[in-house]
């Protein structure tokens, strides 16, 4: 996977679901861009538009698939594809 096709995760530092998702992505070895929506208010709007809500994390895959607050199993399944 090249830099243009990496996963993007929108979240915060304090969110436990974001921390879990970040750790799972890191352990999987796939490249991802981690965007803190508290540091980037424009990104917060992008994440809300993508997800249709204010729930985080929002994980966007290169193929356009979006997971919002994914469980460990949902993220693992998406990474296996």
Neighbours of 75 (CB within 10 A): 19
The widest CA-to-CA distance across the chain, in whole angstroms, is 31
Q: What pLDDT, in 10s, does the model give residues 20-56?
A: 999 999 999 999 999 999 999 999 999 999 999 999 9
pLDDT the model gives residue 5: 63
Q: What is the DSSP letter of 43?
A: H
Q: CA dist 41 to 17, 37, 38, 64, 79, Å?
A: 20, 6, 6, 22, 28
Residue spans of the domains in the chain: they are 3-80
Q: What would the CATH number be for the domain defined by 3-80?
A: 3.40.30.10
Q: What pLDDT, in 10s, does the model give residues 61-70?
A: 999 999 999 9
């Amino acid at each position: 996977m090249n830099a243009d096709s990496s996963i993007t995760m929108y979240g915060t530092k304090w969110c436990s679901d974001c921390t879990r998702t970040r750790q799972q992505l890191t352990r999987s070895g796939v490249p991802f861009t981690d965007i803190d929506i508290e540091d980037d208010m424009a990104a917060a709007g992008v994440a809300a538009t993508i997800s249709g809500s204010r729930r985080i994390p929002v994980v966007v895959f290169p193929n356009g698939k979006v997971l919002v607050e994914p469980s460990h199993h949902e993220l693992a399944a998406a990474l296996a594809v």
